[in-house]
Amino acid sequence: MKGARSKRYSSYRYRVGLETRAVAPSRSGFTRDHIVPVSFGFKHDLPPERIGSLENIQYIGLNENIQKGQRMTPEALNILDSWALRYPELKDLAEATRMKHEARPE
């Protein structure tokens, strides 16, 4: 990412971080992981409040978080499905993302 997009992403990550810290305090020995990755939220213009929400945070070890990276896990797909039920504008995104990830060979 370069230029304006990079600045927008930095601003987005900052706003997600504020939301995350507000709902999920630090825990010794663990890192806060965004189940639906911050980069996915930015790419699809999801509100930082949603990406930083408590339902999208899990506490995991640092090594596990590094290994997970920015991948969409089955848990992330489930969260997207639950958001699609509450926010109809996300239905197409949730369906397309699930289809994309379920079509991939393991």
Q: Give me the tens of pLDDT residue by residue for the chain, a chain 106 residues long.
A: 468 888 999 999 999 999 998 898 888 889 999 999 999 999 999 999 999 999 999 999 989 988 998 999 999 999 999 999 999 999 999 999 999 988 776 5
Cα dist. 15→18, 22, 35, 64, 85 in Å? Answer: 5, 11, 17, 24, 24
**What does the pLDDT read at residue 43?**
96
Q: How many residues does this entry show for the chain?
A: 106
Output the pTM of the full model.
Answer: 0.87
Query: How many whole angstroms separate alpha carbon 87 and alpha carbon 93?
Result: 11
**What does the pLDDT read at residue 25?**
84
**What does the pLDDT read at residue 105?**
66
Cα dist. 17→24, 33, 35, 79, 103 in Å? Answer: 10, 11, 14, 19, 32
**What does the pLDDT read at residue 3?**
82
Tokens of 34: 């965004």
